[in-house]
């Protein structure tokens, strides 16, 4: 990355900066990441970095916006072409898991922003991501109920909360174990239990 970043156009250098922050977040506490560390990872001076971002807050905003766009795009792509709402939910669950395995720094950044007591643009972006995610899940769940694939008494909002919370729980356990790859091993079994709880039984 360091030999490339010096010669990239502005837009591409912003993307490389975002990638550098995500890489660093996988290696250390996200709150300890400094602009100096980001610049060093990219092989740049802080002055060169600040030509694209005025401060660390602006960098974090760009990271959160990029993560939100990328994750939602992957979830949408995973749901497309599935045979039913329940199949779409499973595809989204597994796509989210694969995204985390590939980018272990992302959940650390998201959790870090949500833990902030103060209101920030980055925190707002994370909350908006969760809101959009939940709304998409609820739409699928309503579709599943309409075609009698899912339990007719299922609470869409509660089921969406449980869906996201289940993934967050898997992520936390994998982080505590020190191996994010563990989430890939456990996700199918966990989703099987989730599926049993929401599908129509009669």
Q: What is the pLDDT of residues 118-177, one digit of tens each?
A: 888 988 999 999 999 999 999 999 999 999 999 999 999 999 999 999 999 999 998 888
End-to-end CA distance of the chain: 56
Structural domains present in the chain: 1-54 (1.10.10), 56-198 (1.10.357.10)
Helix (H, G, I), strand (E, B) or coil at 201: coil
* Cα–Cα distance for residue pair 194/174, rounded to 1 Å: 19
d(CA 89, CA 163): 9
- pTM for the full predicted model: 0.89
Is pLDDT above 80 for 202? no
Residue 21's alpha-carbon distances to 11, 33, 180, 184, in angstroms, are 16, 8, 18, 23
pLDDT score at 152: 95
């Amino acid at each position: 990355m360091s030999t490339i970043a010096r010669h990239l156009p502005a837009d591409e250098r912003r993307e490389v900066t975002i990638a550098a922050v995500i890489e660093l977040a996988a290696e250390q506490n996200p709150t300890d990441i400094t602009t100096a560390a980001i610049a060093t990872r990219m092989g740049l001076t802080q002055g060169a970095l600040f030509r694209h971002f005025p401060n660390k807050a602006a960098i974090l905003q760009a990271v959160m916006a990029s993560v939100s766009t990328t994750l939602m795009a992957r979830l949408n792509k995973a749901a497309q072409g599935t045979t039913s709402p329940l199949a779409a939910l499973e595809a989204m669950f597994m796509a989210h898991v694969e995204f985390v395995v590939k980018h272990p720094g992302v959940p650390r950044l998201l959790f870090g922003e949500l833990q902030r007591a103060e209101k920030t643009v980055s925190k707002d972006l994370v909350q908006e991501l969760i809101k959009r995610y939940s709304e998409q899940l609820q739409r699928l769940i309503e579709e599943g109920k309409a075609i009698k694939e899912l339990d007719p008494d299922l609470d869409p909002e509660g089921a969406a909360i449980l869906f996201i919370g289940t993934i967050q729980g898997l992520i936390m356990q994998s982080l505590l174990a020190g191996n994010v790859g563990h989430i890939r091993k456990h996700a199918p079994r966990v989703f099987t239990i989730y599926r049993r709880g929401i599908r129509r039984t009669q």
